[in-house]
Amino acid sequence: MNDTPGIEVADLTVAYRNGHTALKDAAFTVPQGSVTALVGVNGAGKSTLFKALMDLLPHAAGHVRILGLPVRKALSQNLVAYVPQAEEVDWTFPVLVEDVVMMGRYGHMGFLRRARPADRQAVTDALSRVGLTEFRRRQIGELSGGQKKRVFLARALAQEARVILLDEPFTGVDVQTEQTIITLLRQMRDEGRVMLVSTHDLGAVPEYCDRVVLVKGTVLASGPTATTFTPDNLRLAFGGTLRHFMLGGTDLHDDADRRAVDVFTDDERPLVFYDDRHRKAVPGTDDRP
Ligand SMILES: Nc1ncnc2c1ncn2[C@@H]1O[C@H](COP(=O)(O)OP(=O)(O)OP(=O)(O)O)[C@@H](O)[C@H]1O
């Protein structure tokens, strides 16, 4: 690992063919060996940013570098992998779990896409790492939501991607699978990889993300979670869409404790901040079973 940023986005503007500018002058940097949350309201531009990083949308202005390389070069070197949202995949397509993971090897194969022993070994290793070895001969459509997510993570591992874009990896996933995925993300971070994770689960962000990028038509703020994932920045990014209230005094304590908490919630996944002396989001304070 060197000091080259994992992802570098500078003054990026992205417009759709109908003329709608979804991102304007967006800028942020993500170091190698990090897990970064990408958060913002519906329509803020998270998927647009992913598409720009995957070269699926032209850049009207600005530039993107991945591990110091222009996007196309990074893609041609198999450095970038995308873990899609469940809705983007046709689960009725008859394909085995191991075949999906083998797709991660295509970029390493020749024109005829003939799998060599090294490719088969990479698939076996990746499936073992995500705990799906016994599911390798199943049709992908027969798996649970959480298992499907892990198949796509295995595909990214088999690809030996260094930068992995994860679109809502925890949607529809139970708490145990969420923990399995978080453990994997941490291991991959420790291997020097870059994970950019779009998520609406704000309560879990401080638990597993080193850094945060807040978007709303542009990048409002980015940096280490402790200094960026703050009530002020969240108000900027989510103002009006999340309920925000403070609890203190007798609403919170039955003694003279003067501490207060800041709560941001969409009524499903609250994010709780303790008072100024503890301006650090507290993970695990949500109300899931
Ligand atoms: N194909 C498209 N053509 C035109 N405009 C689009 C297209 N896709 C998205 N947009 C618009 O671009 C803006 C950003 O959308 P985007 O899908 O990037 O948001 P998002 O942050 O990923 O939202 P969500 O949280 O709902 O997934 C929105 O205003 C959206 O309506």
Which residue's CA is minimally distant from atom 18 of ligand 1? 45
Cβ neighbours for 214, distance < 8 A, ≥ 6 positions apart: 39, 40, 220, 221, 222, 228, 233, 234, 236, 237
In a domain, 280, yes or no: no
Does residue 241's CB lie within 6 angstroms of at least one atom of ligand 1? no
Q: What does pTM read for this prediction? A: 0.86
Which residue's alpha carbon is at the smallest distance from atom 24 of ligand 1? 42
Instruction: Indicate whether 225 belongs to any domain.
Output: yes
Give the count of domains, the chain: 1
Ligand 1, atom nearest to 41 Cα: 25
Q: What integer pLDDT is reported at residue 275 of this predicted model? A: 64
Q: Is residue 222 part of a domain?
A: yes
**pLDDT score of 267:** 62
Dist. CA 36 → ligand 1 center (Å): 20
CB 20 less than 6 A from any atom of ligand 1: yes
CATH of the domain at 56: 3.40.50.300
Å from CA of 4 to ligand 1 middle: 30
Asked, for residue 247, whether it belongs to a domain, the answer is: no
Predicted interface score ipTM higher than 0.90:
yes
Taking 70 as the threshold, does the pLDDT of residue 24 lie above it? yes
* Ligand 1 centroid to residue 253 C-alpha, Å: 43
Whether residue 59 is contained in a domain is answered as: yes
How high is the pLDDT of residue 87?
A: 67
The finding on whether 277 has its CB within 6 A of some atom of ligand 1 is no
On whether the CB atoms of residues 205 and 259 are closer than 8 A, the answer is no
124 belongs to a structural domain: yes
- What pLDDT, in 10s, does the model give residues 211-238? 999 999 999 999 999 999 998 899 899 8
Domain range for 201: 7-229
- Whether residue 277 has pLDDT greater than 60: no
Confidence at 203, pLDDT banded by 50, 70, 90: confident
Atom of ligand 1 nearest to the CA of 51: 18
pLDDT at 1 over 70: no
For residue range 67-105, list pLDDT tens digits in order.
999 999 999 999 999 988 876 777 777 899 999 999 999
Determine the Cα–Cα distance for residues 141 and 95; give it in Å rounded to an integer: 8
User: Which residue's CA is the nearest one to ligand 1's atom 19?
Assistant: 43
**24 occurs within a structural domain:** yes
47 in ligand 1 pocket by Cβ < 6 Å?
Answer: yes
- What are the b/e assignments for 166-187, b being 16+ CB within 10 Å? bbbbbeebeeebbebbbebbee
The reply to whether 267 falls in a domain is no
- Alpha-carbon distance of 270 to 266, in angstroms, equals 7
